[in-house]
Amino acid sequence: MNDTVKVYDQAWGTALAAKISLQIKAEVAQWARIRKDPPLIPIVPGTSQYEDVVQSFRVIAGSPLRIKPSAKLAPIKISVAFQLAQQQFADEAIAAQAAMQPAMDLAFIEDAIILQGPRASEFFKDSPQIKDEDETLADQEGLFSEPPTPIKEGKSIVESILEGIKALNDAQQHGPYCVVVSPDLHKEAMTPIPDSGIPQIAPILPQLRGDGFRLSEVAPPRTGVIFSLGGGALDLPIPWDAHVEFRSVEGPAIFVVVEQFRLRINNPRAVVTLS
């Protein structure tokens, strides 16, 4: 007869979190619009440990161009909590399922921060389970450097993208180009040209990177942004990618889905808000 009593403690919680972390990392990477494979912005993977700062590679204009020595940037650590009731402690399938919605929420808020920077705070208001653990949201930068102005009604998304490409070329940013737009503009772009089955966006897709035109639900209506990736203009350091951490067990067990990242805009001239 086996009289072993299962102990639900820190070691148990840490081990359970590790078991379901790989699945959760894959889910976040799938749901996040901007870094869904292939990611729009090159990812700089970390070593699965938190960092206080990441190196800045911001280009300083001049002749020759230079990077400011020793400049640092604050990453952001975002977590979304979930809990397991005592009667669920022994069921790993339930634990994995309980982490799914928090993983989806984390993917959504990741997109919000990458696009909106500190203005992503509005997405935290009604979701107390989402935490900016190190309180560095105000230090982040987004692809929208300012609140974006909606593209005028009647102006096509194709015309706006072509203007964005010209603006980037004029700034000596020659691609490859990627575009992120609001759902309504994405729908417009995918609407067939009259009397054809060809989407309106199709004729200019060769000017964009493969799979480089995407929608994001966090972009305000009739807004979008285009950016050039050449010359390492943007990247996304992720010191510790999405994973599950155990936090406490006092009655129910508390876990979080958590990640740390930083959008790094190395050349601001490589990003243009569509207008």
- Tell me what the mean pLDDT of segment 17-31 comes to: 88
User: In degrees, to the nearest 5, what angle opens at C-alpha 63 toward C-alphas 57 and 67?
Assistant: 15
pLDDT tens, position by position, 40-93: 999 999 999 999 999 999 988 777 878 887 799 999 999 999 999 999 999 999
- For residues 261 and 76, is the Cβ–Cβ distance under 8 A? yes
Domains identified in the chain, total number: 1
Whether residue 31 is contained in a domain is answered as yes
Whether residue 4 is contained in a domain is answered as no
Whether residue 111 is contained in a domain is answered as yes
**What's the pTM value of the predicted model, to 2 decimals?**
0.93
Per-residue pLDDT at 221: 97
- Tell me what the mean pLDDT of segment 208-234 comes to: 96
Residue 221 burial (CB < 10 Å; 0-12/13-18/19+)? exposed
128 or 34, greater pLDDT: 34
pLDDT tens, position by position, 150-196: 999 999 999 999 999 999 999 999 989 999 999 999 999 999 998 88
Whether residue 3 is contained in a domain is answered as no
Whether residue 210 is contained in a domain is answered as yes
Whether residue 227 is contained in a domain is answered as yes
pLDDT above 90 covers a percentage of the chain that reads 80
Whether residue 1 is contained in a domain is answered as no
Residue range of the domain that includes 245: 10-273
The beta strand positions in 75-216, using DSSP E, are 76-84, 130-132, 177-181, 213-215
DSSP structure class, residue 88: G
Whether residue 126 is contained in a domain is answered as yes
For residues 203, 111, 59 and 269, what is the CA-based torsion angle, rounded to 10 degrees? 40
> How far is the CA of 167 from the CAs of 245, 264, 268, in angstroms?
44, 21, 13
CATH number for position 190? 3.30.2320.10
